[in-house]
Chains A and B, each alone.
Chain A
């Protein structure tokens, strides 16, 4: 479980997060949703320490990450896997080397154990046989999947995915969503997914945090979200014609 308590973050005069608190539960896929520029990526980056929050604390299973020194943070970092918005694969390395990289840096596995672990991870994301390719030779969806494989190679306790399916077609997007749900259940991870794609939210979310103007405007699950009377949330959910049609149909 990850607890974010009263996080605030500004860049110069521009306040992005105002006193944000959230709880991300173990074994569940926890969504952070909100409009573009609402601070979703900033919140995830503050949570994992890529940005220092101006105020507030983050607890990983009760361990206060914010007050830790460099060495203690490093230990927690080894328990975190992260899929970045743009994939962030190392483009000087092949797919296989990308996935193997964290193992090489931090595990005591021998070469053989590492290779089999890498093969397992690549199978998990349905990319066997692509190990020798370079990231530049892959499609966007394949890069995302390699990103997931790399994120789970160290068996993380915590998985962060920043817009795992932006830029993907709906079918591929759902494959990725299901993959995230499956590995979360399988390994009992605490998973945090940032998204503004309502399809994904409905498909994959266990809990939902909606950020609006730097504040958490709604917390709850799928069913609660659909019947929420928060105006900003409804504007967000029903921005698309498709969603409005669905709503009208179900209310009839």
Chain B
């Protein structure tokens, strides 16, 4: 169903309507604010640990790998340069959202899926609450705010850990590494990274929410939705990455 032509058109149509419903004005701002803070804790604060860990290791590994590959006429500052370019252009803005799609996306989909199959979403609707907006908008906004922050943190930690490992292992001097970090630096790259991240944040939260919200059946279907949420988020993030890179960098 999903991959047939009709299936794709059906899902795109339903997704568009879903997002239109989600984007309506919240019924009560005080409640929305409280939910937003809750979601920011789940999506943002609770992800700091894993993002920090991955970034530190990634920066260090990039540094060592580049050092391993350069020899002869390739200047040593290439190490700092490569760590910078990888972290800022790809690892932080793309892979961090992909990893969070696994952690946060499956959480969103299974929460909404459970609420659907236990009729909690119907209960909201019957009270006159816009259930899609009520449940999903705080998640989307929280993703919008938290993901860029996490990604900037990831960039910083990656570069710092690259520098750290370079000094520790002696593959590069601080001066060379620093020169590498600064050479040919275009600040637009960071802007590009942030733009990508916000788009990926929207994809991750909304695609996962979509799959959870339209679950039907029981516990088994909730599990399926949560898998689909992750798979589709990742695939769509990757496709969008290709398109955005082409649009923004060339």
Contact = CB atoms under 8 A, between A and B. Distances in A.
Interface residues of B, number: 13
Interface string A36-78: 0000000001001010000000000000000000000111011
A84 interface: yes
Contact of B27 (A80, A90, A91, A105): A105
B125 interface: yes
A166 interface: no
A84 B119 contact: yes
Contacts of A82: 122-123, 126
B123 to A, nearest CB: 4
Contact of B128 (A77, A89, A104): A77
B129 A88 contact: no
B119 A86 contact: yes
Contacts, number: 51
Given A104-B28, A104-B31, A91 B120 contact: yes
B119 A85 contact: yes
A84 B122 CA distance: 9
B31 A50 contact: no
Contacts of A102: 127
B234 to A, nearest CB: 27
21 contacts: A75-B128, A77-B126, A77-B127, A78-B128, A82-B122, A82-B123, A82-B126, A84-B119, A88-B119, A89-B120, A89-B123, A90-B123, A91-B118, A91-B120, A102-B127, A105-B28, A105-B127, A106-B127, A106-B128, A150-B123, A154-B127
8 cross-chain pairs, A with B, having the tightest CB-CB distances, nearest first:
A77-B128, A88-B119, A88-B123, A84-B119, A74-B128, A82-B126, A102-B127, A78-B128
